[in-house]
Amino acid sequence: MRRCVWISAVVLALFAALVPGVSAQAATERRAVPLPLERLFDNTAVSDDARPAEADLDGKGASLSAQDLTAAGWTPGRPLTVQRARLTWPNRQPGEPDNVRAAGQDVRVTGRGDALAFLVAGTAGADIGAAGTVLYADGTRSAYHLTAPDWRTGPLATKAVALSHINTPGGQLTARARLYVMTVPIVTGREVVSVRLPQATGMHVFAAAVRAPAAGWTGSWASATGGYPTVGPWADRTLRLVVHTSVGGPRVRLRFDNTFAAGPVRIGRATVAVQQSGAAAKAAPVRVSFRGAAGVEIPAGAQAYSDPLGFSVPADGNLLVSFHLPGTVPAAPVHRLAQQRSYVSAPGDHTADTSASAYPTVLTNWPLLTGVDVGGGPGSVVLLGDSITDGDKSTVDANRRWPNVLATRLLNQSVVPHYGVLNQGISGNRVVSDRYPGDGVSTDTAGVSALYRFDRDVLAQTSARTAVVFEGINDVRWGTTAEQVIAGLREIADRGHARGLRMLAATILPCEGETQCTAAADAERVEINAWIRGARVFDGVLDFDAVVRDPARPSRMLPAYDSGDHLHPGDAGLAALAGSVDLRALVP
């Protein structure tokens, strides 16, 4: 083998010497043949708990536990969908090479899409970032910058999965091992044929793929996961969730996310129907499938899309999405504030029931279900926000959140396309700090920061065209400076622009009279709003502050718009926000 390598080097050197203007490095690049990632594996990250010395991820003898990975549902060769990207966990047994140490290798990665996705971990003790190159079928190239957070110290808020232990030759350590899915932009529409990995010591790549475009789909409804609280526990129960569409279409698919989970969750069967009232359907619910099967097991941190189903989804209407949980579910990823009553059944699979008789228990949150897509349409507007976007203090079951009112306005006009509207508000959410730590069972469901959830809740959303960022009041109410919030908003704008999104910002509402809305907090709010209006970092501004403030006292809301707590607008105030939006500003 060494003799073959020496001969190849000699041939390349002779070629470089004989051909004017061609360096040995250039000759090497021309003759490099991209290989599938698994043929380049040169590091072993996973060990059996009984044989920890068979792997060494970090160069110090530490490794991932095969048993922990199995408990999370991350088994050899298993496809995993994370952030809409379909990746495959290496089909290797414990003790076998299962990842590549990034050193400029050319990897065969093919397809068209909107991003490259990498399953990575760093072992340098801190984030590792470096540049790589994408090669397209037409001979063009584009650069990308990939960051691999550290497998032991990286943010739990953005991890794909966290494992309970770290194996070492001296015994197991009770420490959280992290793996990350990171996406980087590519040229949309061009066919990718290979990827050159970065030159980055300590960056480990387990899988790579082009994230396929959401062609032919528009997001109609979505919710953002805010935490992982205890539930039920539910065992052999059917959840019937009520969700309100924005746009309609002739086909439907559902998305379920097992975000923040430590183990897999199984959905036995699922159906969709148009709501009659309460838990009753207008007609017999229609079954959906998952890659041809009736149900699906979703690994920790992953998501599942149902197969496309011919089903007439009404615009601006309520659907019943029912799914059976055959096993025991003691905790689940949840969007806490639904402002909508949903239902839990008596024991059994009641997904096909038309009547409401089997659903005696009311549920006021949305577990597991995170998206409803419809066939066709022009794409979606994503609204990234806090409790005001979430609809806190709006009338329950009435769909009077400002995103709902905006969606209705879009449907009832012909000036701009009928975009879907995706509400990604989370009550209590902040721009630059986490309320929920991003791992483990927690009573706090206010989510990880907007910075940390931006990739999942905006960039990975179906057919996102434009994003509106409407956050910051919770930051300043709890002591974050205007400078910190502005830095966070600027980063969000830059990341959205890098992916081709139109980025809009909304000014922060006044809240004098609420306990945490002190004069100091208001001064920070005013400074942030001045920056939003004047910095031109975003493509447009929705001046919501100007819409609802009291002209006689600009630090407070007009009484007619105040829900009564001085922080959240009521139905009239939310309608005023939506009514103030220049719909033309939403067009990319």
For each of the chain's 588 residues, which pLDDT tens digit applies? 333 333 333 333 333 333 333 344 443 444 479 999 999 999 999 999 999 999 999 999 999 999 999 999 999 999 999 999 999 999 999 999 999 999 999 999 999 999 999 999 999 999 999 999 999 999 999 999 999 999 999 999 999 999 999 999 999 999 999 999 999 999 999 999 999 999 999 999 999 999 999 999 999 999 999 999 999 999 999 999 999 999 999 999 999 999 999 999 999 999 999 999 999 999 999 999 999 999 999 999 999 999 999 999 999 999 999 999 999 999 999 999 999 999 999 999 999 999 999 999 999 999 999 999 999 999 999 999 999 999 999 999 999 999 999 999 999 999 999 999 999 999 999 999 999 999 999 999 999 999 999 999 999 999 999 999 999 999 999 999 999 999 999 999 999 999 999 999 999 999 999 999 999 999 999 999 999 999 999 999 999 999 999 999 999 999 999 999 999 999 999 999 999 999 999 999
CATH value at residue 519? 3.40.50.1110
Asked if residue 184 and residue 120 are part of one domain, the reply reads yes
Asked if residue 556 and residue 530 are part of one domain, the reply reads yes
Helix (H) or strand (E) holding 98: none
Asked if residue 243 and residue 197 are part of one domain, the reply reads no
State how many domains the chain has. 3
187 domain residue, yes or no: yes
Q: Residue 404 sits in which domain range?
A: 378-588
Asked if residue 460 and residue 363 are part of one domain, the reply reads no
**Under DSSP, is residue 148 helix (H, G, I), strand (E, B) or coil?**
strand
221 domain residue, yes or no: no
103 domain residue, yes or no: yes
Q: State the pLDDT at residue 43.
A: 98
70 domain residue, yes or no: yes
Asked if residue 514 and residue 392 are part of one domain, the reply reads yes
Asked if residue 365 and residue 266 are part of one domain, the reply reads yes
32 domain residue, yes or no: yes
Q: State the pLDDT at residue 7.
A: 34
Contact yes or no for 489/510 (Cβ under 8 A): no
Q: State the pLDDT at residue 22.
A: 37
With CA atoms as reference, report the closest residue to 366 among 326, 400, 321: 321
Asked if residue 443 and residue 332 are part of one domain, the reply reads no
The last residue of a domain, from among 346, 374, 402: 374
Asked if residue 38 and residue 137 are part of one domain, the reply reads yes
Asked if residue 333 and residue 391 are part of one domain, the reply reads no
Residue 126 corresponds to which tokens in the numbers above?
């801190």
Q: State the pLDDT at residue 23.
A: 41
Q: State the pLDDT at residue 57.
A: 98
Half-sphere exposure of 538 (CA within 13 A, CB side): 28
The last residue of a domain, from among 374, 393, 415: 374
Residue whose entry in the numeric block shows the structure tokens 């009770």: 174
Residue whose entry in the numeric block shows the structure tokens 């089903």: 311
Q: Which distant-in-sequence residues (6+ apart) come within 8 Å of 245 by Cβ? A: 220, 221, 313, 314, 315, 316, 317, 318, 319, 372, 374
Q: State the pLDDT at residue 24.
A: 40
Contact yes or no for 58/166 (Cβ under 8 A): no
Asked if residue 145 and residue 43 are part of one domain, the reply reads yes
Q: State the pLDDT at residue 27.
A: 37
Asked if residue 241 and residue 197 are part of one domain, the reply reads no
Contact yes or no for 440/400 (Cβ under 8 A): no
Asked if residue 117 and residue 242 are part of one domain, the reply reads no
* pLDDT digits 0-9 by tens, 417-442: 999 999 999 999 999 999 999 999 99
With CA atoms as reference, report the closest residue to 506 among 552, 455, 450: 450
